[in-house]
């Protein structure tokens, strides 16, 4: 079986600690007033005197607050460790980088698996329906708590890009720039369809019990299948061919429905590991929030962005068929029509959607120069 493991780089920022911020309540997009809310977050680097060097990094569907470094006594580099640190794309010698686990998550922030103070039990499906903008509104409370009036940039790939666009639309006065990566203004029918198949896999698991599984067996088989479906969309046909080919495992059993091919073993490995760290109900809530998201609220995005004074760098990848490049081009077109200074870069990668986590050299070059331009106020060479 081919396994993957993130490695700690020589120039890693080292040991980091997850912190927690709580506030009383938030009025959600649905009109429901919900609270209390806790957000898990991590910071890297130092905030300068005028608090002008802060960058908010926004994670994708399965991500968390741990974006860089390692935790004490653990070998667990953050999900973007190769991009955050000394001399990296988000250079912690210059910038103060923040990453928080989203509202609705299951890795330190308030979500369906959190305890409802009214019942003493996990919220489960009593947790209210949330939106991407609710996640962003919760993040704004954290940024206010940190005493930051204006972020130098907000950035993220995939669902992180949806959040970045929500910041651009909802709080343009609070950001100097935005870097959406491998994302879209709104989900296409195909993107919604993939998420729905994942949700149905979870809800078809006999252990789901309408979300009330916390005192017993979790619906791990359904969640594992949902993750397997996701990983198929994250890769490309070429990357799968290069990584696995039609190679079979040494212990393949002919004429039995076992995972004989290496690609099958990889998907099983990914699914089995995912269920150890993620909550099935969070998966349902988060994917639904993604599907319901529309950055422009049904209007042409260029109309919503009129008079917005923010610089934008939009990055896409040629082999990404989950969030194809045409969707990023739509973001750039809307920005330019609204008068926003926008740069578009399409990276020639074979990694598919996963490229935003893997094309480190290209992204570092693009992001570092863009941030210099925004931070120092000149055209970086």
**Hey, which residues are catalytic here?**
158, 320, 353
How far apart are the C-alpha atoms of 367 and 353, rounded to whole Å?
18
How far apart are the C-alpha atoms of 186 and 311, rounded to whole Å?
21
- DSSP state, residue 210: G
- Backbone φ, ψ for residue 157 (5° rounding): -110, 150
Contact call for residues 232 and 317 (beta carbons, < 8 A): no
* The token pair that represents 370 in the structure block: 């863009």
How far apart are the C-alpha atoms of 175 and 84, rounded to whole Å?
19
* The token pair that represents 357 in the structure block: 């986590």
- Quick count: other Cβ atoms within 10 Å of Cβ 92? 21
Determine which helix (DSSP H) or strand (DSSP E) holds 267, and give its type and residue range.
helix 262-274
- DSSP state, residue 160: H
How far apart are the C-alpha atoms of 282 and 114, rounded to whole Å?
10
**Tokens 């989203």 map to which residue?**
102
Smallest CA-to-CA distance from 4 within 371, 354, 367 is with: 354
| Residue 88 to residues 55, 182, 339, 363, 381, Cα–Cα distance (Å) | 14, 20, 30, 10, 17
How far apart are the C-alpha atoms of 125 and 104, rounded to whole Å?
11
Smallest CA-to-CA distance from 69 within 55, 85, 56 is with: 85
| Residue 52 to residues 148, 195, 215, Cα–Cα distance (Å) | 8, 38, 46
């Amino acid at each position: 079986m081919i396994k993957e493991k993130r490695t700690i780089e020589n120039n890693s920022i080292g040991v980091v600690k997850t912190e927690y911020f709580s506030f009383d309540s938030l009025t959600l997009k649905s009109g429901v007033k919900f609270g209390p809310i806790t957000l898990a977050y991590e910071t890297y680097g130092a905030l300068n005197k005028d608090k002008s060097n802060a960058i908010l990094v926004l994670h994708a569907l399965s991500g968390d607050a741990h974006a860089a470094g390692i935790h004490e006594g653990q070998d667990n580099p953050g999900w973007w460790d190769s991009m955050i640190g000394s001399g990296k794309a988000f250079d912690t010698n210059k910038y103060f980088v923040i990453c928080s686990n989203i509202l609705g998550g299951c890795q330190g922030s308030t979500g369906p698996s959190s305890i409802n103070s009214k019942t003493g039990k996990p919220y489960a499906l009593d947790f209210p329906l949330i939106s991407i903008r609710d996640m962003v509104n919760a993040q704004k409370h954290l940024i206010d708590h940190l005493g930051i009036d204006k972020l130098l940039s907000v950035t993220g790939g995939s669902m992180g890009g949806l959040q970045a666009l929500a910041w651009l639309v909802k709080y343009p006065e609070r950001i100097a720039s935005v870097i959406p990566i491998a994302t879209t203004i709104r989900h296409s029918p195909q993107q919604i369809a993939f998420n729905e198949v994942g949700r149905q896999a979870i809800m078809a698991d006999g252990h789901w019990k309408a979300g009330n599984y916390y005192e017993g067996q979790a619906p791990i088989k359904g969640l594992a299948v949902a993750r397997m479906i996701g990983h198929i969309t994250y890769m490309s046909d070429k990357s799968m061919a290069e990584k696995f080919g039609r190679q079979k495992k040494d212990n393949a059993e002919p004429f039995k429905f076992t995972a004989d091919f290496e690609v099958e073993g990889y998907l099983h490995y990914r699914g089995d590991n995912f269920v150890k760290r993620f909550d099935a109900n969070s998966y349902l809530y988060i994917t639904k929030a993604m599907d319901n998201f529309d950055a422009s609220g049904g209007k042409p995005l260029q109309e919503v962005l009129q008079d917005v004074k923010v610089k934008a760098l939009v990055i896409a990848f040629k082999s990404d068929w989950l969030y194809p490049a045409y969707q990023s081009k739509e973001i750039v077109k809307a920005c330019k029509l609204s008068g926003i200074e926008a740069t578009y870069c399409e990276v020639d990668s074979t990694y598919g959607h996963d490229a935003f986590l893997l094309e480190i050299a290209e992204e570092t070059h693009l992001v570092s120069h863009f941030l210099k331009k925004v931070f120092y106020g000149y055209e970086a060479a």
